[in-house]
Amino acid sequence: MTTILFSAGESSGDQHAANMFLEIKKHQLDINAIGMGGAKMAQAGVDIRYDSAGIGVIGVVEVLKHYGEIRRALTLMKRIIDTERPDLLVCVDYKEFNFKLAKYAKQQGVKVLFYVSPQVWAWRAGRVKAYGKVIDMMAVIFPFEIPYYEAENVPVRYVGHPSVDKVHPHISKTEALTRFGLAANRRVVGLLAGSRANEIKRLLPVMLEAAALLHEHFPDCQFVLPQADSISDELLAEYLTAAPVKVTVIKSQPYDVMQCCDAIMTTSGTATLEVALLTVPMVICYKLSPLTYWLGRLLVKTKFIGLPNIVAGKGIVKEFIQHEATADNLAAEVTRMLTDEDYCATMRENLLAVKQRLGQCGGSKNMALLALEML
């Protein structure tokens, strides 16, 4: 039987790989999938050999703290390549880890499909050549990424952004408000504090403080938090039990929650693009360790870190990074979104343009067909 080895180290990659494998099974039933990932991949039928929930970290300091575990995961995945000889390795995001794994697989004669390009347009454009040596195909999710690879004669295919497929509420806004116990005549503000433990630790306290400030000005304001699968109840409880405002936590229904919101505070990452696809006004924030932030300032060449702004090519959503990610700044921006109708209307128009730029549905299906083509 044909075997695909998946390698996904983060929550978004787990979802992308799961959607891709579900599409593969529609076209070819006699196919086996194994690898590193999380709950979504397991539900899709992938035999999870390593649960990646504990190694989805960003930043120099964070990676060093988890280095032993990350190294163990890499050793295990290399052993699987040696002993089970998969027909194809699909690396989903998780750049540095998957670069090392792809390099090893290539040396062992295993075909490599890399899904979600490193942000070569933001920093270290020279990595294109390095990746070209360890992969058979780079699948990019933004159309503007193609020229970087074509310039170096690296095989590349634009497959579309997977979020376009999956970012759809399952119920109406009216039904969602009722199900979540939210009053339709009161404002709703979302707290998207991240899918990594270190993001929750750094950003949820700031968001909760901002929520307290908002509650002073808007006493009827309701706060919701869609809980990522990779975040434990215990971790959230550390912050929410003594929170200055009531926050309704909702599991496994992120897009139904987002559509209920009048404004959203969100960490930088895939979530920002998901909010954009639902055209909900938002403010983006992020914090890193001081060392990682300092290195990032030296290396990153883009003007923005938020994906909606990068796709738009201009600042359509406010970004508060590091020392600017304060409760006062977040509360002030959300206040503007809740009170300035023209400001909100312009932001929604710009977010709709981002949605249109990302193209039509089919990213997961395109990935599945590309994998089967390589097989």
- Give tens-digit pLDDT for 261-284: 999 999 988 899 999 999 999 999
Q: Are residues 200 and 97 in the same domain?
A: no
**Do the bridges between strand 263-267 and strand 247-251 make them parallel or antiparallel, or are there none, so unpaired?**
unpaired
Q: Are residues 115 and 230 in the same domain?
A: no
Q: Is the pLDDT of residue 70 over 60?
A: yes
Q: Are residues 196 and 276 in the same domain?
A: yes
Q: Are residues 342 and 366 in the same domain?
A: no
Q: Are residues 187 and 145 in the same domain?
A: no
Cα(314)–Cα(172) distance, integer angstroms: 32
Helix (H) or strand (E) holding 207: helix 197-217
Residues of the domain holding 364 = 2-161+360-374
Least confident range of 20-34, 78-92, 110-124, 136-150: 110-124
Q: Are residues 301 and 347 in the same domain?
A: yes
Closest CA to 224 of 206, 240, 203: 240
Model pLDDT, residue 64? 63
Model pLDDT, residue 270? 87
In a domain, 166, yes or no: no
Q: Are residues 266 and 217 in the same domain?
A: yes
* Threshold 0.85, pTM exceeds: no
pLDDT in tens, 89-116: 999 988 889 999 999 999 999 999 999 9
Q: Are residues 121 and 184 in the same domain?
A: no
Asked if 256 and 293 count as a contact pair (C-beta separation under 8 A), the reply is no
CATH number, residue 254: 3.40.50.2000
Burial of 69 (0-12, 13-18, 19+ CB in 10 A): middle
In a domain, 124, yes or no: yes
Q: Are residues 22 and 116 in the same domain?
A: yes
The share of the chain scoring above pLDDT 70, in percent, equals 91
Q: Is the pLDDT of residue 326 over 60?
A: yes
In a domain, 156, yes or no: yes
Q: Is the pLDDT of residue 167 over 70?
A: yes
Cα distances (angstroms) measured from residue 88 to each of 43, 118, 136, 286 = 21, 20, 10, 35
Asked if 44 and 24 count as a contact pair (C-beta separation under 8 A), the reply is no
